[in-house]
Amino acid sequence: MSLIVMKFGGSSVGDAERMNRVANRIVERKLEGNQIVVVVSAMGDTTDDLIDLAEKIAPETPSAREMDMLLSTGEQVSVALLSMAIHKLGHQAKSFTGWQVGMITEAVHGKARISDIRPERVHTALDQGNVVVVAGFQGMTEDGEITTLGRGGSDTTAVALAAAIKADLCEIYTDVDGVYSTDPRVVKVARKLNEISYDEMLELANLGAAVLHPRAVEYAKHYNVNLVVRSSFTKNEGTLVKEEAVMEQGVVVRGIAYDKNVARISILGVEEKPGQLAKVFNALADQKIDVDIIVQSGVRDGAADFSFTVSLSDADKAISVIEGIKSSVGFKEATSETDLVKVSIVGAGMVSNPGVAAKMFDTISSLGVSINMVSTSEIKCSCVIGSVHLQDVVRALHTAYDLDTDNQAYVGGPSERR
């Protein structure tokens, strides 16, 4: 008997028909002799609908605490209905909220991190023969406040719970049938990967690939969780995410990711003296603004220009923060640019193969596209380019690194929210 965690996203349980289909999938796994814990997201567009409703009631700034109270209800609906669907098939099931299964988080509303899991009730329910159905995306602080985990929270719930109960396998069911070499909606001949390493998957997730959330991959790597991404709409084999993946002969780049949520902030004419950059980035950090790529130009006449990227949603806030410290930093101008996208290549084979980045630059330049910023690490290289060139660049890179195939097809609809 194996202990398996199965996670289903919002589009997988988007209506009654899909809910029943998922229930059948769960019962099939149970009849194979497994103990089953299920983690579920809110149905379809429920979360977006709740956010829209909150904005109509409180258009300025809804209370973060009350938003968590509101948004956590979406998953509660899902777990109750899915348990009913399993009951209808003649099997025991018991639903739980995140806090009922001991999901303890830090005291941050909207994007809390899990600090502890106390899964005694999960084990008790399993021992009683139940399928345990858990609400993803949510938890509770030590003093009893309901919190939500932010984007990708249900993936994180599933992997963290799998680690806590020492599950044999964690299956992430989604609207695609695995991890692809790039977005199949952009490159029709993208290939599905049979397996990928934690490190490669983490880079791809951080760089824009929406199939798994970075925090979920971090948990899987830290606790060595056996993780599989597969489709909730087909019975196709998925992609295994593991410590070390087998490298295909001649394949150096494993995948290509892109991120449209990019803005470039430029600060011009910064006085060249120690501590200037520290003032800027400390001020941004205090406002919880994450900074990605940083580039500084040479010094001229005692002043330097530098640029960095932030998420598109943080662009206006970042400019406001920087203008607020102008008197202490001393610069001429701060500007933002938003019609950008970050395209990245990822592969463990890049470490031992020189010229991989050069091929990326050559491929992009051959299209007549300018590269605005570059960032590299041992297993990835990222270029910021104009957003209008996104599809042409991704397709060209996919071909340049021999990732094209003609026997794979995209399965499902839009990427699931969480």
For 254-295, what is each residue's pLDDT tens digit? 999 999 999 999 999 988 888 888 999 999 999 989 999 999
Domain presence at residue 359: no
Lowest mean pLDDT of 59-63, 92-96, 137-141, 316-320, name the range.
59-63
The pLDDT of residue 28 is above 90: yes
Please compute the mean of the pLDDT values over residues 347-369 and round it to a whole number: 92
State how many domains the chain has.
1
Q: Is 79 left (phi over 0), alpha (psi -120 to 50) or beta?
A: alpha
C-alpha to C-alpha distance for 142 and 135, rounded to whole angstroms: 18
Model pLDDT, residue 115:
95
C-alpha to C-alpha distance for 133 and 178, rounded to whole angstroms: 23
Q: Report the share of the chain in percent with pLDDT over 90.
A: 78
Pick the closest to residue 158 from 174, 135, 141, 180 (CA basis): 135
CA max distance for the chain: 79
CA angle 113, 115, 121 (to 5 degrees): 110
197 vs 352: which has the higher pLDDT: 197
The pLDDT of residue 153 is above 80: yes
Confidence of residue 383 (pLDDT cuts 50, 70, 90): very high
Model pLDDT, residue 250:
60
Domain presence at residue 182: no
**Which residues lie across from 310 on neighbouring strands?**
263
C-alpha to C-alpha distance for 389 and 385, rounded to whole angstroms: 7
Please compute the mean of the pLDDT values over residues 230-236 and round it to a whole number: 89
> pLDDT of 157-212, one tens digit each?
999 999 999 999 999 998 888 999 999 889 999 999 999 999 999 999 989 888 88
| Beta-strand relationship, 263-271 and 303-310 | antiparallel
Please compute the mean of the pLDDT values over residues 12-16 and round it to a whole number: 94
Pick the closest to residue 148 from 70, 87, 222, 209 (CA basis): 70
The two structure tokens encoding residue 151? 């984007």
Domain presence at residue 190: no
C-alpha to C-alpha distance for 401 and 247, rounded to whole angstroms: 14
Confidence of residue 409 (pLDDT cuts 50, 70, 90): very low
In what side-by-side order are the strands of the sheet with 373-377?
255-259, 340-346, 380-386, 373-377
Model pLDDT, residue 412:
31
**Which residues lie across from 387 on neighbouring strands?**
none
Domain presence at residue 382: no
| Beta-strand relationship, 93-96 and 131-135 | parallel
C-alpha to C-alpha distance for 401 and 341, rounded to whole angstroms: 20
> pLDDT of 336-346, one tens digit each?
999 999 999 99
CATH number, domain at 61? 3.40.1160.10
Q: Which string of b and e fits 385-397 if b means at least 16 CB within 10 Å?
A: beeebbeebbbbb
The pLDDT of residue 90 is above 50: yes
- To 10 degrees, the CA torsion angle through 311, 12, 96, 241? -60
Model pLDDT, residue 405:
76
> pLDDT of 48-78, one tens digit each?
999 999 999 998 888 999 999 999 999 999 9
Residue-number span of the structural domain to which 33 is assigned: 3-175
Model pLDDT, residue 413:
32
CA angle 387, 181, 163 (to 5 degrees): 110
Distance of CA 397 to the CA centre of its chain: 23
Model pLDDT, residue 183:
92
Cβ atoms of 99 and 157 closer than 8 Å? no
Domain presence at residue 142: yes
C-alpha to C-alpha distance for 204 and 344, rounded to whole angstroms: 8
Alpha helices in 325-418 (DSSP H): 326-329, 356-366, 390-400
Alpha helices in 101-143 (DSSP H): 120-127
Model pLDDT, residue 271:
83
Q: Report the share of the chain in percent with pLDDT over 70.
A: 95
C-alpha to C-alpha distance for 203 and 149, rounded to whole angstroms: 20
Domain presence at residue 37: yes
Model pLDDT, residue 407:
38
Domain presence at residue 146: yes
C-alpha to C-alpha distance for 343 and 361, rounded to whole angstroms: 11
Most confident segment among 22-31, 146-155, 200-209: 22-31
Q: What is the mean pLDDT of the chain?
A: 91
The pLDDT of residue 382 is above 70: yes
C-alpha to C-alpha distance for 399 and 160, rounded to whole angstroms: 37
Model pLDDT, residue 376:
92
C-alpha to C-alpha distance for 124 and 119, rounded to whole angstroms: 9
Lowest mean pLDDT of 13-22, 68-77, 98-107, 272-281, name the range.
272-281
The pLDDT of residue 116 is above 70: yes
Amino acid letter, residue 34: N
Cβ atoms of 273 and 366 closer than 8 Å? no
User: With the C-alpha atoms ordered 348, 359, 409, 414, is the resulting torsion angle positive or negative?
Assistant: positive
Domain presence at residue 53: yes
Lowest mean pLDDT of 73-77, 332-336, 364-368, name the range.
332-336
Confidence of residue 246 (pLDDT cuts 50, 70, 90): low
Distance of CA 264 to the CA centre of its chain: 21
The pLDDT of residue 416 is above 70: no
Burial class (CB in 10 A: 0-12, 13-18, 19+), 53: exposed
